[in-house]
Structure 1
Amino acid sequence: MLGGPERIRVTENKSDFCEGRDGSLRSEGNGEGSASGFRSDLHKESQRGRWRHTYAAIDLGTNNCRLLVAKPKRDGFRVIDAFSRTVRLGEGLDETGYLSEGAMERALAALHICAAKIRKRGVTRTRAIATEACRMAGNGLQFVDQVAKKTGLQLDIIPADEEARLAVAGCSSLLDDTYDAAVIFDIGGGSTEIVWLDLRQMNRDSKLDNNNKGIIAWISLPFGVVNLAERFGVHDISPHTFEAMVSEVRELLEGFEEAEGLRSAFQSGRAHLLGTSGTVTTLAGIYLGLAKYDRPQVDGTWASMAEVRAIARRLAKMSHEQRVQEPCIGKERADFVVAGCAILEAICQMWPCERLRIADRGLREGMLLTLMEKADRERPRRFRNGRRKRQAKSMAASPAADSRT
């Protein structure tokens, strides 16, 4: 039996998250002198806050190394470069407790590519994180030091609660606020983060600087697709083995003290699920009947939960070679997709609902948005001083408020 889940209950809110969307840059003004005024506004914005920088976000997980490079837009950001490679950093970690030499070499090779892209794009603000594999490995810190020496990248090994918050930040625009609550789940390579959100509170607090906005509770399960697959097998999985995988995940989920309250919200139709991971995007691609994976079609789509679960069970019955032949799976995902399907099935059993929303976004997008928000708070002193002077002048010209009752 794997170790128990990490758990935290959030009782106060600290920082805001915003979400980027695709779309062209446009004037928000009243139309008077719009062309020259808009250009002037853009020039001013380009000299301060987020507009002065190019950003990069690296997510080194248990299975993949991913990079996004982006420039800000008024409604979010525009991706100018991206990279993803399967590195299997957590391969054998459950058995040995350490990152293997081969796994570290694969990750370093991918990180060298990331560093080269960052230099080429003139990136001025970077965040690079490592998650469960480095959290659990006895040599995780030594590996981070090695990465810094060989690539110049400073990896932060982030705790599970920060990983959960970044996932929320990256996916928040896909939450449906016609519901009262939602569960976001991120099936990773070495862990699975599950976050329970009060959408009514998120709407009330939308203008607050609030780090845990709307988060009621979260749980981090100590396994993902890699270590669960290594535990039960990666090739031809019997129906009995698949059910054993589901039961193992379900047992840990039932230890989540908020699970019962969540179940009642789903049963009454007041909550929805939002999934972000290679597992759910792969299943969505098959659900949509795509000849090859296409992110714009997958990201944000609503899928029938019954049909997604049926696809997951069909994949579990396939041979390894049959899974490889699926156009939305391929060789790299064929080893682990069944383990991901087992985790998803356990989540669906705990919190049944009719539809699942799919997110092809998450930690990297959350990192980019928070980097940009931080840059906004670090505007050059000359702009901050000018703003204070304008505020002081405005206050001096305004009549004092009447304090009488």
Structure 2
Amino acid sequence: MLIARPERRPRRRATEALRIVDAFSRIVRLGEGLGRNGRISEAAIERTLEALQICRDKMEARGVTRARLVATQACRTAANGDEFTARALERTGLDLEIIDRETEARFAARGCGNLADSRSENVLLFDIGGGSTELVWLARPEDASNSRLELDQWTSVELGVVSLAEHFGGKSVSAETFEAMTAFARDALRPFAETLAGRRRCERFHLLGTSGTVTTLAGVHLGLDRYDRWRVDGLWLSDGEASRAIQKLRAMDFEERVANGCIGPQRADLVLAGCAIFQAIREHFPAERTRIADRGLREGMLLELMEAEGDLPSSDWQGPQNHRG
């Protein structure tokens, strides 16, 4: 959850237009077991409803006047997704909207796209979630008279850290298991990579990642005792630094990951699955550097909501020109 108000100063870029008032985050694993049963489990529903009650209380305490509340992959695919949102409304009074994949990809791009190198002609943005991974190809049109990057191609793949960890195991991950996870992710991402195989990549081409996986990797790379958003958001990782951070994580056993201040017990059995997906992305889209974003979907939602309400000037951000669902 993110609560913000528009910045009442001359227009600034992207998330600088937001003044954050309050935030809350909890890993609830809503999609736990979904791949096996096709349904959201009762335990996952209860965990999520408890977290939503905290969100409701914070919204009431802060006097929130307008909100957009969304659910993503787990509710899109679960047979009881609508049943869950109905229970959430009944229990908490929060009316969740199940958004489609295109909207989710647009929000992610809108929320962190300003971190892309403004001199790049193309950038691959990715968001590794619990049940899906969004890939967005940002490019500058050849005939453009300005320097804007536009959302050119996108896809959403039913591949996330929860589903991958459940399939292969996440607590004890051998070298063979990690390679199997990476190969699985590589195959899942291949169709999108093939659609972009003929695209020229500029000298400043880079990856732009938003998700717990890449922010955790950044924290491990920096050697932080506790996660620090201000040091992570906007950080550049070279290809070698990303590889070394992954290797450092792979060398930790489960107890060491639990004890690490940037991972903790909530992510300890998921982070290596995320690393496998990140590794597969790097193999399909080789780049000398990756920029880390501790921002994304929530910030994109807020910016669009404020613009729609007239609290911010309309953005020059370009929506999907072409897309793949």
Q: TM-score, normalised by structure 2?
A: 0.89
Aligned counterpart in structure 1 of residue 126 of structure 2, from 159, 182, 185: 185
Report percent identity of matched pairs. 51
Is the contact made by 2:6 and 2:311 (CA closer than 8 Å) also made in structure 1? no
Letter in 2 for 1:171: C
Matched, 1:110 2:51: yes
Is the contact made by 1:185 and 1:194 (CA closer than 8 Å) also made in structure 2? yes
Matches within 5 A, 1:286-305: 286-305=220-239
Matches within 5 A, 1:320-335: 320-335=254-269
Listed one character per residue, the Cα deviations across residues 105-131 of structure 1 (whole Å, up to 9, x for unaligned) are 110111111111111111111000000
Aligned counterpart in structure 2 of residue 250 of structure 1, from 186, 190, 207: 186
Matches within 5 A, 1:3-402: 67-73=1-7, 74=9, 75=12, 76-200=17-141, 204=145, 214-256=150-192, 257-262=194-199, 264-265=200-201, 269-376=203-310
CA distance in 2, matches of 1:201, 1:373: 28
Deviation at 1:303, TM superposition (A): 1.1
The change in CA–CA distance for 1:150 and 1:205 in structure 2 (over 3 A counts) is farther
Letter in 1 for 2:27: T
Deviation at 1:323, TM superposition (A): 1.4
Is the contact made by 2:257 and 2:263 (CA closer than 8 Å) also made in structure 1? yes
CA distance in 1, matches of 2:123, 2:305: 25
Letter in 2 for 1:71: R
CA distance in 2, matches of 1:116, 1:338: 34
CA distance in 2, matches of 1:311, 1:205: 37
Deviation at 1:317, TM superposition (A): 3.5
The change in CA–CA distance for 1:377 and 1:330 in structure 2 (over 3 A counts) is closer
Is the contact made by 1:182 and 1:199 (CA closer than 8 Å) also made in structure 2? no
Matched residue SS, 1:86: coil
Listed one character per residue, the Cα deviations across residues 201-240 of structure 1 (whole Å, up to 9, x for unaligned) are 7975789xxxxx7122111110110000000001111101
Deviation at 1:314, TM superposition (A): 3.0
Deviation at 1:299, TM superposition (A): 0.3
The change in CA–CA distance for 1:299 and 1:99 in structure 2 (over 3 A counts) is same
Is the contact made by 2:133 and 2:156 (CA closer than 8 Å) also made in structure 1? yes
Letter in 1 for 2:94: L
The change in CA–CA distance for 1:360 and 1:203 in structure 2 (over 3 A counts) is farther
Is the contact made by 2:140 and 2:147 (CA closer than 8 Å) also made in structure 1? no
Letter in 2 for 1:86: I
Deviation at 1:316, TM superposition (A): 2.2
CA distance in 1, matches of 2:240, 2:159: 25
Matched residue SS, 2:262: coil
The change in CA–CA distance for 1:88 and 1:202 in structure 2 (over 3 A counts) is farther
Is the contact made by 1:274 and 1:359 (CA closer than 8 Å) also made in structure 2? yes
CA distance in 1, matches of 2:312, 2:135: 32
Is the contact made by 1:201 and 1:214 (CA closer than 8 Å) also made in structure 2? no
Letter in 2 for 1:258: T
Letter in 2 for 1:215: L
The change in CA–CA distance for 1:336 and 1:217 in structure 2 (over 3 A counts) is same
Is the contact made by 2:69 and 2:96 (CA closer than 8 Å) also made in structure 1? yes
Letter in 1 for 2:22: D
Is the contact made by 1:313 and 1:341 (CA closer than 8 Å) also made in structure 2? no
Is the contact made by 1:238 and 1:317 (CA closer than 8 Å) also made in structure 2? no
RMSD: 2.0
Aligned residues: 305
Deviation at 1:87, TM superposition (A): 0.9
CA distance in 1, matches of 2:160, 2:5: 32
CA distance in 2, matches of 1:315, 1:114: 32
Structure with greater Cα Rg: 1
The change in CA–CA distance for 1:327 and 1:362 in structure 2 (over 3 A counts) is same
Which has the larger displacement, 361-370 or 75-84? 75-84
Deviation at 1:378, TM superposition (A): 11
Runs of 4+ in structure 1 over 6 Å off: none
Letter in 1 for 2:217: L
Letter in 2 for 1:246: T
